[in-house]
Amino acid sequence: AAGALAAVGDAAAAVLAAEAVGAAGHVLERIVACVRQRERAERVERAVGAFPAVKHRLADLYVQVRAARSAAHYAAWATIGSPSGGAARSAPSEGRWRETGERLGGLALAQALEALRTAAAEGVQLPGGTGSTWENEAYRYFHRAVGDELLFGPVHRLRAYAADAARLFDGREVTV
């Protein structure tokens, strides 16, 4: 019964990771659209997105969201299938796959929550004054990112749990 509960928890984490990645991707799209249109000042006739500092922050955010999306896809694949393409992930011949596959949902969730929180924070900062108003939806995503982290636990704790389950530290517990 404990194994079935762990498998359901991992599947739920994979689904939540995919949902958080979708939200982070939406925030990134909204930020890019906003900084392309917004001008810095009347004297400067360039969009805010044309400045290298903004471009680099958006590029870093893009890489983080894409990495989280890859982790979520891999966790979903590991949850529903096996390396051989079959649907029976818990088959006796694939015991090692089952051991490693059960932690992927939590790791993907950690990656996705981190990407969502970073994207939401950038969504408040990069648009400037409009990002700090209640009418901007960036605030909703930021509050959601903080709430998700409170609900599912801090990212570092999700990663520490996966490291403990994988016995990466030779039987020594990871304290957080």
CATH number at residue 23: 1.20.140.10
> Of 39, 35, 56, which Cα lies nearest the Cα of 124?
35
Does residue 30 belong to any structural domain of this protein? Answer: yes
Does residue 56 belong to any structural domain of this protein? Answer: yes
Which residue's entry shows tokens 């890019």? 32
Does residue 96 belong to any structural domain of this protein? Answer: yes
Number of domains present in the structure of the chain: 1
The percentage of residues in the chain with a pLDDT greater than 70, rounded to a whole number, is: 72
Does residue 172 belong to any structural domain of this protein? Answer: no
User: What is the reported pLDDT for 26?
Assistant: 96
Does residue 171 belong to any structural domain of this protein? Answer: no
φ/ψ of 102, rounded to 5, equals: -75, -15
Total-model pTM: 0.79
Q: Could you list the residue range(s) of the whole structural domain that residue 153 is in? A: 2-165
Does residue 174 belong to any structural domain of this protein? Answer: no
Query: Which residue would you say has higher pLDDT here, 89 or 39?
Result: 39
Does residue 86 belong to any structural domain of this protein? Answer: yes
- What is the pLDDT confidence band of residue 21, given thresholds at 50, 70 and 90? very high
- The predicted-structure confidence for 59-111, as pLDDT tens digits, reads as follows 999 999 999 999 999 999 988 874 444 444 444 444 444 445 557 888 999 99
- What is the pLDDT confidence band of residue 130, given thresholds at 50, 70 and 90? low
Does residue 13 belong to any structural domain of this protein? Answer: yes
- Could you tell me the two tokens for 18? 């995919």
